[in-house]
Structure formats: structure tokens, C-alpha cells
Amino acid sequence: MKPSFRHILAALAVLLAAGCTDAPQPVPPADGTGQVWIGFAARRQAGRAAPRTSLVSADNVQHVTSMHLYVFDGTGDDALCIASEDVHWQQPIGPTASQYYKLETELPDGDAADPYTFLAVGMDDASPDTYGLPDAIAEGTMLAEAKAHVRQALVDGGTAHQAIATSELFAGSVTAAYSSEADLHLTIDLYRRVAGVLAYVTNIPVDVTAIELQLYEAQRAEVPLVAQPAGSDHGTATLDAADARTLLHLDVTPEALAAESVTLADGTTYAKQPGSLLAGAYMLPMPAPADAAGHTLVLEMYKADGSLAGTKNVRLPDLDATGAPVYNFPLEANHFYTIGMKDAATDEPADLGGDTGDAVIYVDGNWQADVDIVM
């Protein structure tokens, strides 16, 4: 028999910290009624504008406009979703914000051997159309199928990779047993389930009219919303479009090179060096190439006739234990990968003409560097 709802107090303090867990934890209202309350906190750096579908910052910034909560009866792959609720996120994109939400679902008593899984998903205004969320997960969905998978209509239309590039997605989960005999207080930390990539380049050879950052294989079409162990925290389905390997495409035009700033759709302006190009995108996590000699990324430069003007292998800044460069690496969720440096303290585009060696890609493993990038 389900317990009376007035005997349940499960306070889920959900911290949407964009990769940072130091946001203040909300305290559920102490009204003595035993209701289920969910507290949310969203943090970003003060003083930043916040376009919703352009990747413009790699620091402690979030662009969430909606939040959804799912409850699964168990923790195994076959655990079924028993509750799906819109938490009615009402906070504006901006500085740290908090709100509470009263869970409507009544939970049956469980035990320590069979806890519930609580999964929270935060989306910007592009993600619902890209991934079909929140409806892609419903009551009866197995936990193993709790994924963000790009909608088939976008795949069929050949625009899936463009949609992924402009969609920010957060998720976090926690498992806990519930008993009506005691209060239950939980915290869910939400982190990006996407990676970010940036190219900030200068001194581009004069015969180059386009630059592309290419993956070793087609981009992933899905990502599990519940974080997986290291090495397997990525989807398996891939896109099949002809250009699904292309992460970034930069047109080299006199106007783009001469500009000393770039302007986003919301009117926000970001400075850049004259003669440089700047672009960024979200992507779904990718494993490292299975071939140990494989290269994860290659920067390709093209002439006006479409022929290849040159390539640069992309490597990590540090050498391996043998002193060799590292070209084979994964592209992980909540990590930011940047060729060239553009942040509050550093403005150093990568030199494509003067540097004859590899292109170096820097990695922020917690996505908190103060970096502004433009799509």
C-alpha cells in the first residue's frame, strides 16, 4: 500500500552549477506537512550576457530554460520510469537563482536493496527540439534507455549535427532508498552532458578560403543521461550524414578577418584580434579512436576550388610518458576543448601560418575557465 503523501519528505536539492558544485544548497521549507520538495539552484558568472542557443562561454555559465525530473523504480538497466514531472523552472538566465518544486508523485516504500533513481535534466531552449525531451522519456521507459538522442526528423533532414552544435544539455542523478518512516534529503548535481569545442585562429594562409575541424569518425547521435564509468560515458549510435565528421566550419572572408569583434544573435559583442577567426560548438561525447595510432581531430584548410590546402594534426599540450605527442584522446562530457586561447586574461589565437607543427588543443576538464566563444 502506498504511504500517505503527507508522510513523505524528500528534498532534492538540485545544483545546476555548470560543472561547479559550490552553489549554495537550497533548504526545503520547514512547513511540517511532509510534502516532497525539490530545490534548484542555477549559477553563472555575473556580468555576462546569455544567448540561449550559441555557445559563448566556457566558464561557470548555464543557459537552462526548463528542467525535468524522472524517477526510476530501481538502479539497474531494467529499472522503469514511474514518474515524469516538469518542475516549472521559472528562473531567468542570469546570476545564481533558486526555486522549490513540490513533487506530485507519491512514492511507495522501498528498501536499501532496491533504491530509486532520481534523474534531473536541464535544457536550454534548443535542446527540446533537438532531442525530443522531455517526452522521449516517459513512464515505462527503462533506465538503460534514458538517453538524449537526436530526433530522427533532424537526421532525415540532414540537420542533426547543426542542431547538436547549438544545444546545451545538463543532467544529474542520485540513487536513494525511501521509507515513509524517515525523511529523505537528497542532492543532485547537474553537469553538462555535452562537450564544447572552439577554434580561435590567425595568420591563415592567403590561399585558404575555409577551415574545418574534423573528427576521426561521424559524431555520436546520443548520450546516456545518467553518467557512465570513465571510458564508456558516451553513446553508440552515430550520425550518417556526409558531413557528420565536421565539428566546426569557418569561412575565411575579408570581412570576417577584418572584423575586430563578433556579434551574436542577441546583440552581444565579443572582441577578437583583426585577422583572426573564432567559432565554437557543442557536441556529444566521443570515445578515443580504437586504433591507438588514430588521431581524434584534424584541422583541414581548403582552397576556393575545394582542394585541400593543408592539414594540421591536433594534439594535447602534454607529451606522453615516452615523450611522444598525444593525438588519440576522448572528447568527454563537461569538458571544453580549445585551439587557441580566448578568455578574460588571454587572447592568443593559434597561428596557422607561422607555426609549421601540430595544432595544440587545450582541455578544461571542469568547464570553468573564463572563455568566450562564438558560433
Which DSSP helix (H) or strand (E) runs through 11? strand 10-16
Give the end of a domain, one of 192, 211, 233.
Answer: 192
Residue type, position 119, single letter: L
Residue 254 within a domain: yes
Q: Are 285 and 185 within one domain?
A: no
Query: Which of 16, 21, 63, 38 minimizes the C-alpha distance to 172?
Result: 16
Give the end of a domain, one of 192, 223, 239.
Answer: 192
Q: Are 188 and 275 within one domain?
A: no
Q: Are 119 and 214 within one domain?
A: no
Exposure string (b/e) for 23-62, b if CB count within 10 Å is 16 or more? beebebeeeeeebbbbbbbbbbbeebbbbbbbbbbbbbbb
Look at strands 222-224 and 80-86 and give their pairing. unpaired
Q: Are 265 and 284 within one domain?
A: yes
Q: Rounded to the nearest 5 degrees, what angle is found at the Cα of 349, between the Cα atoms of 343 and 351?
A: 160
pLDDT in tens, the chain (375 residues): 333 222 333 334 445 554 444 444 445 554 444 445 555 544 432 332 222 233 433 444 567 888 899 999 999 999 999 999 998 877 666 545 556 777 788 888 877 788 999 999 989 889 999 999 999 999 999 999 999 999 999 999 989 999 999 898 988 888 888 777 767 777 777 788 999 998 999 999 999 999 999 999 999 999 999 999 989 999 999 998 888 999 999 999 999 999 998 776 556 677 899 999 998 889 999 999 999 999 999 999 999 999 999 999 999 999 999 999 999 999 999 898 999 988 777 889 999 987 778 999 999 876 654 333 344
Q: Are 158 and 235 within one domain?
A: no
Cα 294 to Cα 300: distance, rounded to the nearest angstrom: 16
Cα 94 to Cα 43: distance, rounded to the nearest angstrom: 8
Q: Are 225 and 331 within one domain?
A: yes
Number of domains in the chain: 2
Residue 310 within a domain: yes
Cell of 85: 514531472
- Residue 231 sits in a domain whose CATH number is 2.60.40
Entry pTM: 0.85
Cα 246 to Cα 281: distance, rounded to the nearest angstrom: 11
Q: Are 161 and 90 within one domain?
A: yes
Cα 160 to Cα 38: distance, rounded to the nearest angstrom: 33
Residue 375 within a domain: no
Phi, psi values for residue 14, rounded to 5°: -95, 115
Residue 337 within a domain: yes
Residue 43 within a domain: yes
Surface-to-core class of residue 86, CB atoms within 10 Å of its CB (0-12 exposed, 13-18 middle, 19+ buried): exposed
Q: Are 173 and 234 within one domain?
A: no
Instruction: Spell out the residues 6+ positions from residue 149 whose beta carbon is closer than 8 angstroms to its own.
Output: 131, 132, 136, 221, 222, 235, 237
32: left (phi over 0), alpha (psi -120 to 50) or beta: left
Give the end of a domain, one of 166, 192, 218.
Answer: 192
Cell of 259: 572584423
Q: Are 163 and 219 within one domain?
A: no
Q: What is the CA radius of gyration of the chain?
A: 22
Residue 123 within a domain: yes
Q: Are 13 and 141 within one domain?
A: yes
Residue 373 within a domain: no
Note down the domain range covering 229: 195-364
Q: Are 120 and 181 within one domain?
A: yes
Residue 93 within a domain: yes
Q: Are 179 and 221 within one domain?
A: no
- Cβ pair 49, 266 in contact under 8 A: yes
